[in-house]
């Protein structure tokens, strides 16, 4: 015969405290003495008490779970943010449920989000900086507290609905383009992310503004997705006629594709073509040549998203957004003043 499951009353009896004190300790409530807290936690271990989360959810209407909605094809930046979100949620005592969908598929996106909401998550982090996801996150926020992690962390998804959405995050792309202009480049091309993505729109807008400020012509090629393969294809298009002397790639995967295309065409990097990426992915320092890129501190963005969501859970009527993470240019060996194809190679 199976023995009875330990209860709060068993813990209270062993710890020699009240049932209410045990409950306050287990819910991490304030105003409990260290001595009482230590006795309760020791008693929990002694009797083998396990909290019944299902029963607790019926009382508190909280499940202790946070949902995370991701794109099905996620790049390195999204992966790093997702890992930070999960770690921060677990550190705060929450479990994690994950759903994914293609942002271009409206019905699949809605179904994935609805699935997380129906499973009773206390809050939701949407890690899809796409126009389709903005409308969805705005609708979801009426049902469950939601945070949209786009180019920067935003609590209120409607803040991204305006055409100028993401403009506060343009300092990073500007760093990249100003760096190339400062080196003396005048024919600077931009490989942009797929249409519909906030981050892609932001980087294109910043690139064009800097080029216009310096009286330089802009040249943008939009990739079909965020992969190195798409960056490679875009580079071949740029090199077909009137090739640039520098390329600002909207992510490091694009930049990897650029470097591969240059190797195929025997173009020396950086003297034949300078390349700047975006994200400072863990592998960027090991590209050849090592990649100059913009660091966006994806892990910090993930942590801030969870902190913002937890604040929203604690005060449902509170509104606002987290401070954006300040980007920085990471200088490596893939950029130099414009030269000629006969200049010394870094390969």
> Chunked in runs of 10, what are the mean pLDDT values of the chain (347 residues)?
69 85 69 82 82 49 81 79 88 88 86 86 86 74 78 48 48 96 98 90 94 98 95 97 96 97 97 96 96 89 83 69 78 90 38
On the question of a common fold for 8-51 and 64-165+298-324, the answer reads: no
Q: Nearest 10 degrees: CA dihedral of 111, 102, 107, 321?
A: 70
| pLDDT for 192 | 97
Q: Check: CATH 3.10.580.10 for 64-165+298-324?
A: no
Sequence-separated (6 or more) residues with CB below 8 Å from residue 90 = 96
**SS3 of 328, please?**
strand
User: Model pTM?
Assistant: 0.74
- Rounded Cα distance between 328 and 205, Å, is 18
State the Cα–Cα distance between residues 211 and 134, nearest whole angstrom: 29
Tokens linked to 278: 């975006």
Q: What is the pLDDT of residue 260?
A: 98
Residue with tokens 């343009």: 170
Count CB-CB contacts under 10 A for residue 310.
19
What is the predicted pLDDT for the residue at 154?
47
In CATH, what is the architecture of 8-51? Orthogonal Bundle (1.10)
* DSSP class of 261: H
**Which CATH superfamily includes the segment(s) 167-296?**
Response regulator (3.40.50.2300)
Query: Would you list the domain boundaries of the chain?
Result: 8-51, 64-165+298-324, 167-296
Q: How many CB atoms lie within 10 A of CB 286?
A: 9
Say how far apart CA 187 and CA 55 lie, in whole Å: 65
Strands 95-101 and 65-71: parallel
* Residue 267, CA atoms < 13 Å, CB-side half-sphere: 25
Q: Encode burial over 43-76: b for 16+ CB neighbours within 10 A, e otherwise.
A: bbeeeebeeeeeeeeeeeebbbbbbbbbbeebbb
Cα(244)–Cα(233) distance, integer angstroms: 15
16, 25, 263 from 34: Cα distances, Å: 14, 10, 64
Structure-block tokens of residue 198: 């906030």
Quote the pLDDT of residue 61. 53
Per the structure block, which two tokens stand in for 115? 């699935």
């Amino acid at each position: 015969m199976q023995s009875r499951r330990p209860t709060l009353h068993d813990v209270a009896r062993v710890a020699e405290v009240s049932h209410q004190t045990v409950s306050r300790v287990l819910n991490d409530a304030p105003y409990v003495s260290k001595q009482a807290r230590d006795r309760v936690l020791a008693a929990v271990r002694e009797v083998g008490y396990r909290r019944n989360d299902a029963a607790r959810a019926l009382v508190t209407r909280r499940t202790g779970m946070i949902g995370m909605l991701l794109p099905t094809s996620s790049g390195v930046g999204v992966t790093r943010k997702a890992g930070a979100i999960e770690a921060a949620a677990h550190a705060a005592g929450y479990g994690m449920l994950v759903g994914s969908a293609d942002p271009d598929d409206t019905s699949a996106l809605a179904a994935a989000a609805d699935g997380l909401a129906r499973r009773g998550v206390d809050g939701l982090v949407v890690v899809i900086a796409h126009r389709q996801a903005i409308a969805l996150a705005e609708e979801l926020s009426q049902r469950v507290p939601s945070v949209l992690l786009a180019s920067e962390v935003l609590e209120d998804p409607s803040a991204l609905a305006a055409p100028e959405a993401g403009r506060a995050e343009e300092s990073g792309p500007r760093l990249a383009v100003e760096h190339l202009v400062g080196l003396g480049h005048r024919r600077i091309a931009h490989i942009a992310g797929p249409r519909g993505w906030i981050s892609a729109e932001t980087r294109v807008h910043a690139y064009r503004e800097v080029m216009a400020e310096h009286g330089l012509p802009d040249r943008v090629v939009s990739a079909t997705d965020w992969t190195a393969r798409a960056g490679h294809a875009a580079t071949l298009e740029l090199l077909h006629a009137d090739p640039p002397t520098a390329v600002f790639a909207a992510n490091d995967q694009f930049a990897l594709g650029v470097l591969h295309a240059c190797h195929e065409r025997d173009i020396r990097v950086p003297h034949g073509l300078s390349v700047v990426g975006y994200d400072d992915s863990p592998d960027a320092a090991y590209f050849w040549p090592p990649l100059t890129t913009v660091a966006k501190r994806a892990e910090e963005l993930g942590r801030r998203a969870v902190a913002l969501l937890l604040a929203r859970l604690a005060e449902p009527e509170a509104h606002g957004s987290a401070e954006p993470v300040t980007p920085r240019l990471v200088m490596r060996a893939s950029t130099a003043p414009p030269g000629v194809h006969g200049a010394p190679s870094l390969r």
